[in-house]
Chain A
Amino acid sequence: QLQLQESGPGLVKPSETLSLTCAVSGGSISSINYYWAWIRQPPGKGPEWIGTIYYTGNTYYNPSLRGRVTMSVDTSKSHFSLNLRSVTAADTARYYCARGAKVEWLVSSAWFDPWGQGTLVTVSS
Chain B
Amino acid sequence: EIVLTQSPGTLSLSPGERAILSCRASQSVRSSYLAWYQQKPGQAPRLLIYDASSRATGIPDRFSGSGSGTDFTLTISRLEPEDFAVYYCQQYGRSPRTFGQGTTVEIK
Contact = CB atoms under 8 A, between A and B. Distances in A.
B84 interface: no
B14 interface: no
A38 to B, nearest CB: 11
Interface string B26-68: 0000000101000000011111001000001000000000000
B33 A106 contact: yes
B99 interface: yes
B40 to A, nearest CB: 12
Contacts, number: 63
Interface residues of A, number: 27
A48 B99 CA distance: 7
A47 interface: yes
A45 interface: yes
B78 interface: no
Given A110-B33, A118-B44, A45 B98 contact: no
22 contacts: A45-B101, A46-B99, A46-B100, A46-B102, A47-B88, A47-B90, A48-B99, A49-B97, A49-B99, A60-B95, A62-B97, A64-B96, A101-B50, A103-B33, A103-B92, A108-B92, A109-B97, A110-B50, A111-B35, A111-B47, A113-B46, A115-B45
